[in-house]
């Protein structure tokens, strides 16, 4: 029996916007409704590149230069095994929900304003990975996000920098497949809204081809 492929759902947003909370909610609610679904996250801190990324993020300064860390994040997504498994899940009709993707790569590097690392270059290194059917951008004023648990423990968690990241994300919005969500809502209200949009997409996805980014 053939079946429609699953929907590729991506969550993006500044630090502490509530992505991991919503990914977990969405996957568990979809499965409870009988829509097979699984979660992926980037960076995957367990892989070889992930260990380098984790060390970089945990340190307050120094370490790798801006170009190198950008390439490592891209490499962390492109691990052949991760992409093969993600594609297989989709082709078997599973909805795949991803916590951060290439748009984080572009937004965080651009926010640094490093010379030579322009938008086209930042995007180019992720060419070839799958294009999401929908990107939920969890939008929240940086000040509100900073009030949430454990803020400030990692390298990028500084208000001024996060404000730049938010601006860079908003510049990447593609109206054809992004939904900007008000992430100041309660976890439950946000999850209800996201579940509604996703289940509609699952029903309407049909035989749409999987495209590269």
12/126 with CB nearer Na ion: 12
Among 4, 20, 104, 176, binds Na ion (CB under 5 A): 20
105 binds, among Na ion, ligand T5A, none (CB under 5 to 8 A by kind): ligand T5A
- Choose between 148 and 208: whose C-beta lies nearer to ligand T5A: 148
CA dist list (Å): 84 to 10, 57, 135: 17, 27, 20
60-119: which residues touch ligand T5A (CB under 6 A)?
73, 99-100, 104-105, 108
Greatest Cα pair distance in the chain? 54
Nearer to Na ion, 20 or 38 (CB): 20
Q: What are the residues facing 182 on neighbouring strands?
A: 139
Reference 8, options 99, 78, 74; nearest CA is 99
DSSP assignment of 25-89 equals HHHHHHHHTT--EEEEESS-TTSHHHHHHHHHHHSSS-SS-HHHHHHHHHHHHH-HHHHHHHHHH
Partner interacting with residue 17 (select from ligand T5A, Na ion, none; CB below 5-8 Å by kind): ligand T5A
**# binding residues, ligand T5A (CB under 6 A):** 25
| Residues at the contact surface with ligand T5A, assessed by CB under 6 A | 13, 15-21, 42-43, 57, 73, 99-100, 104-105, 108, 148-149, 154, 156, 185-187, 190
């Amino acid at each position: 029996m053939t079946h429609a492929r699953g929907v590729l759902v991506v969550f993006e947003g500044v630090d502490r916007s509530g992505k991991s909370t919503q990914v977990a909610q969405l996957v568990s609610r979809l499965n409870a409704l009988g829509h097979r679904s699984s979660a992926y996250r980037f960076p995957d801190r367990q892989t070889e590149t992930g260990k380098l990324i984790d060390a970089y993020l945990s340190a307050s300064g120094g370490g790798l230069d801006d170009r190198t860390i950008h390439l490592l994040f891209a490499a962390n997504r492109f691990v052949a095994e991760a992409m093969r498994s993600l594609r297989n899940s989709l082709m078997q009709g599973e909805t795949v929900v991803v916590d951060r993707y290439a748009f984080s790569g572009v937004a965080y590097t651009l926010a640094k304003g490093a010379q030579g690392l322009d938008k086209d270059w930042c995007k180019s290194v992720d060419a070839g990975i799958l294009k999401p059917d929908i990107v939920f951008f969890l939008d929240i004023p940086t000040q509100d996000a900073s009030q949430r648990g454990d803020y400030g423990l990692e390298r990028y968690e500084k208000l001024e920098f996060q404000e730049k990241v938010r601006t860079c994300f908003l510049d990447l919005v593609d109206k054809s497949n992004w939904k900007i969500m008000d992430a100041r809502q309660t976890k439950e209200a946000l999850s209800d809204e996201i579940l509604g949009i996703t289940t509609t997409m699952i029903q309407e996805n049909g035989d749409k081809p999987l495209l590269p980014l």
